[in-house]
Structure 1
Amino acid sequence: MAYDHDRGMPFTIVRKGYDKDEVRRYYDRFDSELRLTATDRDAAAAQARELAIQLEDARDEIDELRRDVDRLSVPPTTAEGMSERISRMLRLASDEASEVRAKAEADAAEMVSVAEQESERLRQLYETKMSELEDRRAALEREHEQTMTAARAEGTRIVEAAVAERDRLTAEAEAKRAQVQQDFEITMAERRAKALAAIEELETNSKAEAHRRLTDASREAQRRLQVATEQSERKIAHAKELAEELRVLRSRILAQLLGIRGQLDSVPAMLASVNRESELLDNAESSAASDGESADSGDGSDESDSPSDEQLPARTK
């Protein structure tokens, strides 16, 4: 480790300036001393204020004692018209009061003197402390200013060095990028050539495979077409046979229907002749009945059972 004694900085010089830990510890110690100095100053000021208050209290107490002495030193009445004994007692009391007052005044003067001396001593101590604190503060401010100036200069130097290092690294990175780009282009050209060759080979194989599949498909289509043609021809021949059989069957059915129609045409004439015969029979029966009734009235009941000559021909008919 090396220290920067030329600039008056108690810091170790490292690669890029002062040691950060030492600088931080130095400023922490500087801040602690400032806070301690401010605390001492506040304590001295508080002590001076307290002594001033005590001095005022002592002065008030002295004034109170003086008033008590004055009050006690005044005789309650004059010596005139009193006995000699009372006069002596009053004089003794007055003398004693004078002594007490003198002693109290002496004690008060001594206390005031001591308090004033203590106050003066504390004031001088306070002024001394304040002067020392002011000198210390000025020294610390000067040291702080020097440290900040040196730190700024060192920071500027570090920034300049960092900028130079950045430019150098940028140039190196640019050169490396150009080299990498060139290598990448060469590699991509080789891969592109290999890929094109593979694509051409794949295309050739694909065309051969497609031609083979087309040939197989054509053969299969021709075979299926021939099979379908044969099946359709067989079905057409079978359909023709069925049509011929249906035509023959139709002719037979038509002939039968014509015969049935002829028979049906002769049915009305037969029905008409049957109706005429039925009417003739009805008429003959009614005539025979009327003739029988007339014969019963003349010949008897036996003749009525035999048929008449007119009825026989009618029944024969």
Structure 2
Amino acid sequence: MKKLIILSILVIISCSAENKGNKEVKALKNKGDIKKMEIQRQNKIETSDLEKFFKNYSYLDRILIKSDYFDMNDSSQDILKKYIESKEKKMIKLENSSQIFDNEPKEKRIKKIISILLELEEKVTNHDIDWLLNKEDIYEYLINEISEYNYKLPKSKLDENRESIYRKSFFEFLEKNYSKDQIEKILEVITINPEYLSYDIDGRYGLRKVDEVISELEKYEPITSEEWSENEARSGEKVFKNQIENALAPAYILTDNRIVMVDMNDNNKPVKEIKITDYKKVGIILYKNIVYIYDNGMIYEYSGRKFENVKKIKVM
């Protein structure tokens, strides 16, 4: 009888230990799953508004009307154009800037548009030149919509007789939603007078961050007519002695059958050199964050911060 009781106790202890072990294993599995989920969450990078803009909208036609493309080899350019169009056939073709994020509520939409502007400015700082190939064209879209948003806001007496077209209610929107550094970047882009390198902004609005930024921007005096003439003369100077006449900065086609990409924000420092078959027959389109090149029956897509990634497509 005693043996039976001892045996029963041993069975109970064994079962208890087994259950405890199973619970511990299960707990470890759960912890492992949780850790795995945390890693997956960390690795999952949220798509930025600039990436969404590139993914959803096509503005190729706007790029190709630039005079710099007119002297390119027509047949080579046509091959590239058709190739890019086939990639973007499901995208919204931008006829005007009002189409950008047009399904969003008014304030959320303008925040997304300003988000693109700020992201581009960050990429200038980081020398991410692949994302800046069409910067000026994108800025034109963005500034148009920011201006339209501003014009629909209520007017204030403080808005009278000011250099800036932007209203106090717009500055209040900036003050409420952005840091001083962000406000500075926004106002630098939307109020710059590119010809005279000054800012069309003045006065104070009783808004701490905005007023501090305006105070700094007011210090920039417009350049003189002599300085303007010197800048115009310098703008016509070649980056490379043997570059073709119509240069597509930051990618320069050279007569020794090379294409050299440079960082325009680092004194035109070369970052990528590509050998080509014949500079007179090559096709090139700088679009979104890719340099497309057609050369001798092949299409090349160069991407990456220093255009280190290349995708090759044989043209049939």
Query: Given the two structures, how large is their TM-score scaled by the length of structure 1?
Result: 0.19
Structure with the higher helix share, 1 or 2: 1
If you compute each CA radius of gyration, which structure gives the higher value, 1 or 2? Answer: 1
Structure with the higher strand share, 1 or 2: 2
